[in-house]
Amino acid sequence: MRKLSMLVVPGLVAMTLAAAPVLSSAYAAAGDDPSSPPKSDTSTKKGKKKSSSVSDPKFLAAYRTAYAAIYDKHDYRGAIDQLKSLKRNDVADVANLIGYSYRKLGDYQSSKVYYELALQDDPNHVRTWQYYGLWQLEQGNREQAQYHLDKIASLAGTGSSEYRSLAEALDKPTGATLVY
């Protein structure tokens, strides 16, 4: 049994390290580093135990494919389909990417639904606060965008890329074309 664990643990480490370049090669709007794939989560929520995303290689592979479709190929429709097929819309990282994709397609109502799902799962999901803040700006809700900016400051600080991106967008005059 000890021999088996000596083989399995290095294999898992190697798989994790092999995945790292995939994550660091994709970038979000305005050059910000996007959230990495979902973390392992074995916490309970409302009595349900979540399965660990990291321990499911099929989930991670599909997530990375959708992630690349968004940030590398700008294939938002395809990414939405891929992410929904994971059947894990309750995971903040997944819901946030679906929301981001809908926003990029101009479907603001669907985008809002998924941003709110992401924040239900993880109220401290900084990237969702950023993207939802940008959504607020696109809707003309500058006060709400400022609220999101303040939330990011409390969670990640004013030096974070998420804070800087939303602050930069807020600095633009109302009605300016925002690109992110």
Tell me if 150 sits within 8 A of 118, measured CB to CB: no
Between CA 5 and CA 122 the distance in angstroms is 33
At residue 23, the 3 state secondary structure works out as helix
Pairing of strands 48-49, 44-45: antiparallel
Task: Output the CATH code of domain 53-117.
Answer: 1.25.40.10
Output the pLDDT for position 98: 98
- CB 119, CB 100: distance < 8 Å: no
Closest CA to 138 of 170, 160, 96: 170
In three-state secondary structure terms, 44 is: strand
User: Who's near 167: CB < 8 A, 6+ residues apart?
Assistant: 149, 158
Q: For 116-158, how does the pLDDT look when each residue is reduced to its tens digit (9 = 90+)?
A: 999 999 999 999 999 999 999 999 999 999 999 999 999 999 9
What pLDDT, on the 0 to 100 scale, is given for residue 69? 97
Cβ atoms of 94 and 86 closer than 8 Å: yes
Question: Amino acid letter at 142?
Answer: R
Q: Which region holds residue 91: left if phi is over 0, alpha if psi is between -120 and 50, else beta? A: beta
Spell out, as residue ranges, where the chain has pLDDT lower than 70: 1-55, 175-180
Domain residue ranges in the chain: 53-117, 124-180
Query: What global pTM score does this model have?
Result: 0.72
* pLDDT the model gives residue 177: 61
